[in-house]
Structure 1
Amino acid sequence: MGHRVLGHPWRTGALPRVVCMTSVDVWSLYKTHADDRSLLSPAQRQVMAVCDWRQEVNADGFENYFRAWGGDTAEEALALLPTVLGDDWAKLLREGMDLLGSPYPIDADSRTNRIDQGQFTDALNGLDERFYALEGSTDADARLNDFVRTEAVGEWPPQNRGPERSFFGRLRRQR
């Protein structure tokens, strides 16, 4: 389940408390945790990886996904897809990953080199079409929202603001 932190963190000695929320939106969680996943559980990182995949492919297709850092999380996304969205989704991502060879290149530069050296345009376009068909026939957001509320995912940590940021996100003055 998602949560929000209440309390007065600017007061000395005040401890925030966690309040469970029944209404969780996976894209709000993604916005909060996309940049820093260090505090997330493995299941939570897998949810973020599925969001990476869906966002990048919806924006510019599989080629963009594999060229960008989002493709770094493909194996994590693949681990969760059969459970949450189904085998057709997992098969689609696996086929895309297999185009780039075995083992799957985990960094964007290696994937980009393989794409540039190969002739994948038609195959990647075919994957895009199948992906868009799945997106059109499945309420993936609802399934992911249901999943992030389960005990398997656990409590989501509050937004991680580094020590360089104050409570309201402004940079602290260096003294």
Structure 2
Amino acid sequence: MITMDDIIRDGHPTLRKVAEEVSMPPSQEDIELLTSMHEYLVNSQNPETAMKYQLRAGIGIAAPQINVSKRMIAIHAKDEKDQQHSYTLFNPKIISHSVEKAYLTSGEGCLSVDEAFPGFVPRYSKITVKAMDLQGKEVKLRLKGIMAIVFQHEIDHLNGVMFYDHINKKDPYYVPDHSIAVER
């Protein structure tokens, strides 16, 4: 089981590396690691389990955050309609995106970042992602709103990018033209 002790913190060099592609079909070791990343998210959202194991709640995690520089992400989050979405993906890649931007009105946080970084993080409001599932089958996802934001946050981790890199340094609450506010 992955715990908070397994999650590396901001400043660790692995968080700034471009992660390696996972060869397909995935190895049993990679499948188990990705499955346990997903289990962390599910457990972290259960108040009793989170308290028992001292887990910080998360809705997404990328392998580089546990010091594994491979292109793997797990997501367990609810969309704006309170629908639960769960994904365990290898080699996710954004293949298209909208011109329109979106940002979380509450700002973004990260399991690897302990301090708060106030400001808006502009993202694409809609994206299409291609990836491989746990069985090594290709999946194509069309995402919008909160789910598009979560995916972009996690895919950034695979490219050595942190969410606060996107915040406007001169005006943290700058709202780009053609952007929509997303409540969380």
TM-score, normalization: structure 1?
0.27
Structure with greater proportional helix content: 1
Structure with greater proportional strand content: 2
- Greater relative contact order, per chain length (Cα 8 Å cut-off, separation 6+): 1
Structure of larger gyration radius: 1
